[in-house]
Structure 1
Amino acid sequence: MKQSKRFSINERVLKWTKRHKKRNSIYTGLILLVALVLLGFVLKNQDFEPVKAMEKNGEEIKLTYLGNVELNKHIRKNDLNDTFNSIKDLLHGSDYSTASLKLSDFSDDRKTNIHKNLENVMFLKGLNIKSLNIINQVTDNITARDFSRAVEAQNGYNFLTGNGSNPINSKTVQQTIKGKKIANVSFTDIESDYADPLKNTTSISLEPNIYIPIIKKLKENNDYVVVNVDWGMTDERSVTTRQKQYAHSLADAGADTIIGHNTVVQEIENYKDTNIFYSLGNVTSEDFLSKNKQGLAVQQNWNGEHSKFMVTPIKSVGGKLTKATPNKIEETKLLNNIKGENVELKKENGGYVYEH
C-alpha cells in the first residue's frame, strides 16, 4: 500500500487558507447583505421632522430664506414632493420666500438642459418660492440667457434675480406684499480668491461701483431690500475679512437683510440693523460630506419696523429634508459657529430666535 505524502507546514497553511478564503467570501457577503438591510430599515424608519412655523399676527409679513438648492438628475430620482415635505407647510405659510437654485447639467442637448432646469424652477415656484437666485457653473452664456427667457415666459419678469450671464447686469425683482414693496437682488464676488473668474455667473458682479447705486435706488423705491450674495467660496465655516467688508458695505448702501450662499453654514450678524446671514448652507446637495448636507431655514416676521427671526437647522438624510436635532455637543458647535455680533439666540420651538 502506497504511503500518503505528508504535507509540509507551508503546504498545510496554503490548504487552510484556500479553504477559509471561500468561507470568508460567503461570510463577507452575508455581513454586507445584513448591513444593507439594516441601513434601509434605519432610513425607512428615520423620523423626518417638519420645520415648525413661527406664529405671526395678521399685520406682520412672514419672509422665509433658504440656502442652495441642487436638483440634479441623481437627486431627481427621488420623489421631490417627499424630499421637500418637511418645509412645505413653512413655505406655503410664508408671504415671501427666496432661495438659490444651482443649474444642473442634464444633457449635451441645450434644449433638454433648459427644459429640465425649467422644471426645477417650476417645482420651487409650486412650493411658494417668490423670488429665485440662480447659481450657474455649468452652462454657457447663450444657454443661460435662453433659460432666463424661458423662466420669464412662464413666471413673468419679477421672479429671477440676475439675467443671463452678464456680470454687470442689474436685473432685480421688486414685488408688492401686503402693501409693502420688497426688492430682491443677487451679487457674485467674481474676484474672490476662491472663485473661478471665468464661470458663467448669472448675477451681478459684487463691485462697489456697481452694487452701491443699485441698492441705494432699490432702497429709495422699496420698503425692504433683500440681497443674495454668492461669496465664491466653498467649505469654509469661518467668515473671511473680505466677506465682512463687503457685507457691511452692502448694509451701508441700504440692504435690510443679506443672505449669503456658500456650501456650509456661517455666522449670523446684526450690523446697523441689517441682518447678515453670511451663509445658509445647502438645502439639498449631491456632495457626500455631512457638512454639505446641512443648512439653515430662516423665518422672519416683519411688522414694517421691527423683526423677529427664527433660525432652524435642517439637513438631508436619505434623500429627504428634515429639521436637524443636534445633540448637546453638536448644538454647542453649531451655536458657536453661527452666533455673531449683536445676536442673542434663544432656543424656541425647535429653532433659535432673536429680535431687533
Structure 2
Amino acid sequence: MAILRQRKILFLILPVLIIGAVFYFKSNPRLEVRSPNLIHVTKYTQEAGYVEDTVAKFQNAEKLEFSDTFGGITSHHVPTAFPLLAEFYSRLKNTKNIDTFIVLGPDHWEKGRADVSISEADFITPFGKLSPDMDMIKKLEESRFVVHDEAPFEDHSIHSQLLFIAKLFPDAKIVPIVFRSSTANEYAEKLGDLIASLSGPNTFVVGSVDFSHYLNEEQARPLDARSATILAGIDPRLAGLTRADSPASLTALVAAVKKMGATASIPIGAGSFNSADFSNVNDFTTGYVVQFFGTKKEKQSSNTRDGTMLFVGDIMLSRSVGAHMQEKGDYNLPFLNIADFLKGADITFANLENPVSLRGTNVGSKYSFRADPKTIGGLNFAGIDIVSIANNHMWDYGREAFLDTMTHLAKAGIDFVGGGHNFEEAHRPVIKDVKGTKVAFLAYTEFLQNVVAGTNSAGITNFNIEQIKKDIAAANQQSDLVAVSFHWGDEYQTKHNQKQEQFAKAAIDAGADLIIGHHPHVVQEVEQYKDGWIAYSLGNFIFDQNFSKETMQGLALQVNLKDAKVQGVEKIDISISKDYQPSLSYQ
C-alpha cells in the first residue's frame, strides 16, 4: 500500500514539475535548448583555412559606389568559386553593415515537401554559429508562401554563403530559403515583394545561383554574359534568361531589390565568369554571374577630387621581348624603369599587341605574335589597369589564343576592351571610377574586320562609324567621360591620314572626350578638337623595333581630370632601350 501511495503522489507531482520546468526555461532564454533537429553543421569545415586566406586577399576591397545596397547575386560553386565569394562579401563588408541576410537558392535535390522551404535552424560553421531571424521567418511562414522544412537545408546553395557570412558578418541573423525547380516565377515574384516589405534598412538579399552547366568554356561564356546583362536590367520577368539553376531564386531576388528601391547594378569584373577562370578545366564548366543591386550615388561634380589617367602605346611581349624575359627569368624586366611612373596614375591604359596563350595555330601572318601567359605578371607589376585587344595581331594564333587572352587578363584582374565572347560583350564599355569621375573606355581597330564578334561568337569590335556612335551614346549614359582607343593609320608615318581624322572627329561629335591612337609604331600629332582631345598615335611603348630612332621613341599621354571633366593633357616623351625597356626621356 505504501508503494501505491508513493506512485500516486509522484503522478500528481510530475505534471507540476514539467509545467514549472517549461516556464523556467521559457523565462530564461539563455538556458533554452534548441532541438537537435534545428541545427545544421556546415559541410565545409576542411575549407576553413582556404576561406581565411582568400578573404585576407580582399580585406581592402573596393567599396560599392551606391548610396544604398539591397542585394546581390553570387555563386555557390565551391570551393572553385571561393575567390568570387570572398570578393563579393568583402566588398559588401566595406560598404554596409548588415543585420539580416536573406539567402535564396535552389533546392538542388528536391528534398523539400513544398515548392519553397524555409529553415528555423542554427547553422554551425568553422567561424561560429549563425542564428535565424525568427521574427521575419514567422511572418513569412504566416503568409503561407513558405513552409518550414529542415530537410532541404544541407544544400550547398545555402552552406556556401553562410560560410562567408559567418566569417565577415558574425553577428548577422539569417533567413535561408530554397526553391524547388517546380516553383512558378509568378509565385517567386510575389514572395520577393513580400520579402521587400519585411526587410529593414540593414537587410541584404543574396541570390545563391549558378548559371550555365556542363558546357565547354567557349559555349558557356556568351550565355552567361547575356544572363548578366538581363539581370542588370532589374526586371523580375527575366525575359531571355535560359541558363540558371534556380530561375525562381533570381526572380524573387530581383523582385525584392526592385521594390526595396534598386535602380542600378554594379558587377564584379565584367559581371560573368566561368569555372575555367579558376581552374585548368575548359570542358564541363559552370558559369557564374556576380553583381550587386542598389541606388547610385548622385553626382556631385563640385566635390570630385583631381584624378589622372595615363595612356601609353603598343606593348608587344612576344618575339625578341619574350625571349629576353625568358632568358633572364624575369617577366617584369621590360617594366623595371617605368613601373613607378605608371603606378602613379589613377588609371593606366595600353594597347596589348599580342595574344597571351600557349595554344592556337599561326594563321600565316609574316609577323605573328603570341606571348607566354607569364608575361601577364609584368602588366600587373607595372600597374596596367586596362588594355585594348582590338588590333591587327590579336588573331595571330586564332580563336583559341584569343579566348585564352581574355581569360588570362580576367584572372589577373586587368580589364580589356575592344573584344569579347560575343557582340554585346565586345561593345560593352569598361567603366572606371577615377576619384569620383566615371570614365568609360571603348576600343576598335580598322583591321581584322573578318573576325568581328557575333551574337554568339567571340571576336573584336565592329569598326563601323554608326556602331561606334551608338556605343559612345550608350557609354555616355553610364559615365561622365568617354575614352575611345583606335588601332588605325599607316605604319611608320608621323602624320595622321584622312580616315583617322574623319573617325576621330566623328567620335567626338558623338560624345567622346578622348581619342587615343595606336598602330603606326611612331608618334603622331596630339590636338584638341572642340571639347575633346585626339592623340593620333602614341607610338611604341614596349617593342623590339630597334631599327630606327622613331620606333624607339614613344609618347605617354597624361590626362588630368577635375570636376568630372578633362582639365588638360600632358605629353610625356618615352625612350625605349635596346633591351626593350621604356623610361622617361629626361631620366
Question: TM-score normalised to the size of structure 1?
Answer: 0.65
Tell me the amino acid that sits aligned with residue 486 of structure 2.
V
State the secondary structure of the residue aligned to 1:183. strand
2:472 aligned partner:
215
User: Bigger radius of gyration, 1 or 2?
Assistant: 2
Match of 1:35 in 2: none
| TM-fit CA distance, 1:203 | 3.6
What is residue 267 of structure 1 aligned with on the other side? 525
Equivalent position of 1:322 in the other structure:
583
Shift of 1:306: 4.6
2:345 aligned residue (91, 94, 110): 94
Q: What does residue 139 of structure 1 align with?
A: 397
Q: Which residue of 1 aligns with 2:307?
A: 61
Match of 1:278 among 504, 513, 536: 536
Cα distance change, pair 108–214 in 1 and its aligned pair in 2 (3 A): closer
- Report the number of matched residues: 260
The answer to whether 1:308 aligns with 2:568 is: yes
Matched, 1:72 2:72: no
Partner residue of 2:557 out of 298, 303, 309: 298
Is the CA contact 1:186–1:203 (under 8 Å) kept in the aligned structure 2? Answer: no
Q: Matches of 2:357 and 2:400 in 1, distance apart?
A: 16
In 1, Cα distance between equivalents of 2:513 and 2:342: 21
Corresponding position of 2:68: none
C-alpha spacing 1:120/1:82, structure 2 compared with 1 (3 Å)? closer
Q: Are 1:250 and 2:507 matched, yes or no?
A: yes
Q: Select which of 366, 369, 373 maps to 1:118.
A: 373
Indicate if the aligned counterparts of 2:431 and 2:441 stay in contact, CA closer than 8 A: yes
Cα distance in 2 for partners of 1:306, 1:172 equals: 19
Check whether the contact 2:419–2:460 (CA below 8 A) recurs between aligned residues.
yes
CA RMSD of aligned residues (A): 3.0
Q: Offset at 1:299?
A: 1.3
Instruction: For structure 2, list consecutive stretches of 5 or more residues without a partner in the other structure.
Output: 1-303, 362-367, 454-458
Q: Distance in 2 between matches of 1:301 and 1:109?
A: 40
CA shift at 1:61, angstroms? 0.4
Q: Is 1:234 paired with 2:491?
A: yes
* Aligned counterpart for 2:443 among listed residues 186, 198, 206: 186
CA distance in 1, matches of 2:358, 2:332: 23
Q: Judging changes above 3 Å, is the alpha-carbon distance between structure 1 residues 90 and 318 closer, same or farther for their aligned structure 2 residues? A: same
TM-superposed deviation, 1:315 = 1.9
1:285-313 C-alpha deviation (Å, 9 max, x unpaired):
12232222221011122112351322111
Q: Distance in 2 between matches of 1:99 and 1:250?
A: 20
> CA offset at residue 100 of structure 1?
0.6
Contact 1:139–1:200 (CA under 8 A) maintained in structure 2: no
Distance change (3 Å), C-alpha of 1:166 and 1:218: same
Q: Distance in 2 between matches of 1:307 and 1:71?
A: 33
Change (3 A) 1:62 1:132: same
What 5-or-longer segments of structure 1 have no aligned partner?
A: 1-57, 191-195, 326-349, 351-356
Match of residue 354, structure 2, among 99, 103, 116: 103
Paired position in structure 1 for 2:431: 174
Deviation at 1:105, TM superposition (A): 7.9
Aligned to 2:410: 152
Relative to structure 1, the CA distance from residue 66 to residue 203 in structure 2 (aligned partners, 3 Å threshold; closer, same or farther) is farther
- Aligned partners of 1:226 and 1:259 also within 8 Å: yes
The C-alpha deviation readout for 1:141-197, integer Å capped at 9, x for no partner, is: 2331233134324427xx11133486883132112232221111101113xxxxx65
Deviating above 6 A after TM superposition, structure 1's stretches of 4 or more consecutive aligned residues are 165-168
Amino acid at match of 2:488: W
Q: Secondary structure at the match of 1:296?
A: strand
Q: Is the 8 A contact 1:71 1:104 kept in 2?
A: no
Change (3 A) 1:165 1:221: closer
| C-alpha contact 2:485 2:517 (8 A) present in aligned 1 | yes
| TM-fit CA distance, 1:317 | 1.5
Correspondence for 1:339: none
TM-score w.r.t. structure 2 length?
0.41
CA distance in 2, matches of 1:256, 1:293: 29
Tell me how far 1:130 sits from its aligned partner: 1.4
- C-alpha distance in structure 2 between counterparts of 1:285 and 1:150, whole Å: 21
Deviations 1:196-237 (A, max 9, x none): 654789541221221101001101210111111001531121
Q: Deviations over 1:10-33 (max 9, x none)?
A: xxxxxxxxxxxxxxxxxxxxxxxx
